[in-house]
């Protein structure tokens, strides 16, 4: 059985590895001339790492990544710590897998090398999928070059602007959230005493927030800084932004945040759009995965993790059901509620992070500070439903 995957990002490559794991041949079609990503970090939470452990990639990712010591919440201007919850070995014991921070390019490299070693998958670059047609039991995939490729199933892992989704469901109407995000990766050696702590730290403030953490064994620092504004509505991830504008957005903030902005060689910014959950992810022998199926805001750091979970669920269902249509419908059934719940939680976190008034800050952050001092483990407990989930074991027991 052969599958074609449109999209060679994290979701597409992980899906390819999962399908090969279950005995499929796979072709990945990626429109870019090379695999990779503009410099950015990714949080590989334990729910995602359980999939990579099942694929035999945990050790390789540990070598490439950074293991944070804690999750921390701080105020953006003063730096006051509201809550700190230990990760490290405690996270691994509690949730069954490590919590890692990884450079996206490093993750792509690990996935690409693993695929090459399987001998059952190919990655074709510079191949833009334009449309699909289902004839009988096969799917014909039309490329921009005019060439047609054929497979038993087609997986649309082609991101927020998915061509596969557009053909399946028509064009969508995303809603601008009023939030614009800045991204940067900076060598730690440039930051001196203002290097981020070895934690996943969220900095909260009036109408804005930032997240800092370390990558690549602690050699790099990653920044995502989100501010409410309406003068930038470009939804791409790769648009360069002006450093002076970024510094103005976070004027008066803690020097850990502002020093990262100052030292960044390039700052990227993108407008954050929201989309309601889709009712349909499949069309006979075609299925959507990751951002193509459930694009979500970055405020839970779970976008990639949901795609990784999707990849295992999809491959597992295709391996256990000879009827491909039924298998893909079952895949959507088992994934839809969880992905939609995480989408909603991501949306809600924007309000938590961006309290504008003193009353709102006291009401929201006061209990966090109190709980963090009385019961530090509460930070881990609040994440059990996300990080403790094991898609591998869940499907093995069905």
Cα–Cα dist 6/151, whole Å = 12
Give the DSSP H or E segment for 83.
strand 81-86
Alpha-carbon distance values, 376 to 73, 367, 382, 391 (Å) = 12, 12, 11, 28
Q: What angle do CA 266, 268, 274 make, to 5 degrees?
A: 170
Is 75 in a helix, a strand, or coil? Answer: strand
- Residue 152 near residue 328 (C-beta atoms within 8 A): no
Of residues 52, 213, 268, 387, which has the active-site annotation?
Answer: 213
Beta-sheet pairing, 25-30 with 2-6: parallel
H helix and E strand count, the chain: 14, 19
- 389 as an active site residue: the answer is no
Of 29, 47, 31, 36, nearest to 10 by C-alpha is 36
CA neighbor of 347 nearest in space, from 276, 249, 269: 276
**Whole-angstrom distance, CA of residue 310 vs CA of residue 317:** 11
> Angle between the 303-320 and 324-353 helix axes, to the nearest 10 degrees?
170
Active site residues: 213
């Amino acid at each position: 059985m052969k599958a074609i995957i449109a999209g060679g990002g994290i979701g597409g490559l992980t899906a390819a590895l999962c399908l090969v794991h279950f005995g499929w041949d796979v072709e990945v079609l990626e429109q870019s001339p090379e695999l990779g990503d503009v410099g950015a970090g990714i949080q590989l939470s334990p729910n995602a790492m359980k999939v990579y452990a099942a694929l035999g990639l945990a050790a390789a990712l540990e070598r490439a990544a950074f293991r944070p010591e804690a999750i921390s919440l701080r105020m953006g201007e003063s730096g006051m710590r509201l809550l700190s919850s230990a990760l490290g070995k405690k996270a691994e014991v509690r949730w069954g897998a490590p919590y890692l921070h990884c450079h996206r390019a490093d993750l792509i490299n690990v996935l690409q090398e693993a695929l090459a070693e399987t001998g059952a998958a190919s990655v074709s670059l510079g191949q833009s999928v334009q449309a699909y047609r289902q004839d009988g039991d096969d799917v014909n995939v039309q490329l921009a070059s005019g060439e047609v490729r054929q497979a038993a199933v087609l997986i649309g892992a082609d991101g927020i602007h998915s061509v596969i989704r557009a053909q399946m469901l028509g064009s969508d109407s995303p809603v601008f959230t009023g939030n614009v995000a800045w991204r940067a990766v900076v060598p730690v050696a440039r930051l001196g005493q203002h290097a981020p702590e070895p934690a996943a730290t969220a900095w909260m403030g009036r109408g804005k927030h930032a997240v800092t953490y370390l990558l690549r064994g602690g050699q790099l620092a990653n920044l995502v800084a989100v501010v409410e504004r309406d003068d930038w509505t470009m939804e791409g991830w790769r648009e360069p932004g002006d450093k002076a504008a970024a510094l103005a957005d976070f004027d008066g903030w803690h020097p850990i945040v502002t020093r990262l902005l100052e030292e960044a060689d390039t700052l990227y910014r993108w407008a954050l759009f929201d989309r309601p959950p889709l009712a349909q992810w499949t069309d006979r022998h075609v299925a959507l995965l990751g951002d193509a199926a459930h694009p979500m805001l970055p405020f839970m750091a779970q976008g990639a993790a949901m795609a990784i979970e999707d990849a295992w669920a999809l491959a597992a269902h295709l391996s256990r059901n000879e009827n491909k249509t039924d298998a893909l419908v079952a895949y959507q059934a088992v994934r839809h509620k969880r992905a939609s719940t995480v989408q909603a939680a991501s949306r809600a976190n924007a309000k938590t992070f961006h309290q504008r008034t003193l009353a709102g800050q006291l009401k929201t952050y006061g209990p966090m500070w109190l709980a963090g001092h009385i019961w530090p483990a509460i930070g881990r407990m609040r994440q059990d439903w996300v990080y403790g989930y094991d898609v591998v074991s869940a499907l093995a027991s069905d």
